[in-house]
Structure 1
Amino acid sequence: MHRLAEAVILAVRAHGEHGAVVRALTRQDGVQPGYVRGGRSRGLRPVLQPANAIRGEWRARTGEQLAALTVEPLHSRAALHAEPLPAAALAWLTALTAAALPEAQPYPRVYDGLTGVLDAVEAAPSARGWAAALARYELLLLAELGFGLDLSACIASGALDDLAFVSPKSGGAVSRAAAAGYEARLYALPVFLREGGMADWPDVFDALRITGHFLARDILIDRRSEPLAARTRLVDLMKRAVA
């Protein structure tokens, strides 16, 4: 097996005295693990950080064997790890993606979405510039894994207009008229989650409440639930930033 591809590092785990097992997301071949000889060395530690972009070369004798991986740095986001909010965003995005995606299955839209939101975190002067993109990435991941929310029409009436809520059970949109009397049992649906664009903080937190519910219910379950702590920390930091 020989593979050469650009990738985003998702997770790094020490292996042995000097090496590291790296899981990275490629566009065409999905999540690919590999053993990096000397991965804990002074020269490679700055390269092998979650969210960094690399060109990886994976080699193995068989498809079942853990591939040997050599890396070439393409783009470093290491400086963001020194800033609390961007660092928390990178930690959550990479941990979520690593936990949610099965290995060796292509998810090109997830790869594009992840690189896009990582670029937004890096480019925006404040969290307000990327928080909406982060929520939309979570929505995309749910959809790509088969747990997409139906926000196109009211699940109760079929109405296409005035969609103001989301059902926590079905994941379907609910119109304001159909929700009358049941608002407290539903999630508020911010407009940007359906139509894109920028969002104010109240809308961002409404969106994160929706996506967080379905991520925890449908994807981050059992042993994969550990990354949720990183999400809790990120949301807490966001709330402090706007308090």
Structure 2
Amino acid sequence: MDFTDDAFVLSARAHGDTGVVVELLTAGHGRRAAYVAGGASRRMKPFLQAGARVVADYRARTPDHLGSARLEPVGEGPSALFDDALALTGLAAAAAVAQGALPEREPHPGVFHAFEALMAAFAVPEVWPAVFVRFEAGLLEELGFGLDLSRCAVTGTLDDLVWVSPRTGRAVSSDAGAPFADKLLKLPPFMLGAQAGLNAGDVRDGLALTGHFLEQFVFHPQNRPIPPARVWMIDRLEDERWADQA
């Protein structure tokens, strides 16, 4: 089982005295774990941070065997974000969500490209939290749990969609959902189209929306909680971005 592919590092952990096991999000071969010889060295450590872009030369004896990889770094990677602690928190959350949600060895090129777009967005502080929400919505869709925001689940109308059913993931219009507002999830307008712009509280509502379905359909069936890195990111956003919107 050999291939060479573009990849992002999702995590790395020590293995033995000098090696590490990395989790990779590859462009064409899904999430892969691989042993990297010498990965604990000072030279290699900067290239094994979450979000680092690499070209992975992957080798494994069988599809089920832990493979090994040689990694070649591409570009600056997360080092470009070292002066932005909040963006680094978002990066750690995105890597943890992708690693926890994606089944191993199952190709999801759409997730790779969405992660790539999110990595670029981290350079724009005003934008990346909304892109993060879109990344999670796309991840849900790739895994077969996409939200249906095309029309109202009750009336079929295409207009004034402001809620989402927490059970079905289908949009609900303002009038149809008003009697049940306390039981529905808020649907921020930017999730319906980029032209809507961002209003106060929209990212908070978007993260609550995607987080609900990630927990319900992805992590709960695995008997696992939402990754702590995502919870920490939301706490940091609350402290630094949303305190004046409470």
Query: With structure 1 as the length reference, what TM-score do the two structures score?
Result: 0.93
Give 2:161's aligned residue. Answer: 163
Distance (whole Å) between structure 1 residues aligned to residue 161 and residue 66 of structure 2: 48
Contact 2:96 2:230 in 1 (8 A): no
Distance 1:151 1:115, change over 3 A: same
CA distance in 2, matches of 1:154, 1:19: 53
Residue identity over aligned pairs, in percent, reads 39
Partner of 2:225: 225
Q: Is the 8 Å Cα contact of residues 6 and 26 (structure 2) preserved in structure 1? A: yes
Question: d(CA) in 2 for partners of 1:64 and 1:212?
Answer: 31
Contact persistence 2:30–2:106 (CA under 8 A): yes
CA RMSD of aligned residues (A): 1.5
Pairs aligned (count): 239
What is aligned with 2:28? 28
Report what 2:52 is aligned to: 52
Q: Distance between the aligned counterparts of 1:52 and 1:32, measured in 2?
A: 15
Q: 8 Å contact 1:100–1:224 — kept in the other structure?
A: no
Letter of the 2:179 counterpart = G
The runs of 5 or more residues in structure 1 that have no matched partner are none
Does residue 112 of the first structure (1) align with residue 113 of the second (2)?
A: yes
Structure 1 moving runs of 4+ over 3 Å: none
Tell me what 1:210 maps to. 209
Quote how far apart the aligned CAs of 1:225 are.
2.2
Q: State the TM-score, normalized to the length of structure 2.
A: 0.92
Q: How does 1:1-243 map to 2 (within 5 A)?
A: 1-75=1-75, 76-81=77-82, 83-121=84-122, 123-124=123-124, 126=125, 128-197=126-195, 198-221=197-220, 222-225=222-225, 227=227, 229-242=228-241, 243=243
For the Cα contact (< 8 Å) 2:215–2:226, is it kept in 1?
no
Distance in structure 1 (CA, Å) of the matches to 2:165 and 2:215? 15
Matched position secondary structure for 2:89: helix
Deviation at 1:5, TM superposition (A): 0.9
Deviation at 1:226, TM superposition (A): 5.4
Q: Say whether the 8 Å CA contact 2:214–2:226 is kept in structure 1.
A: no
- Which residues of structure 2 form unaligned runs of 5+? none
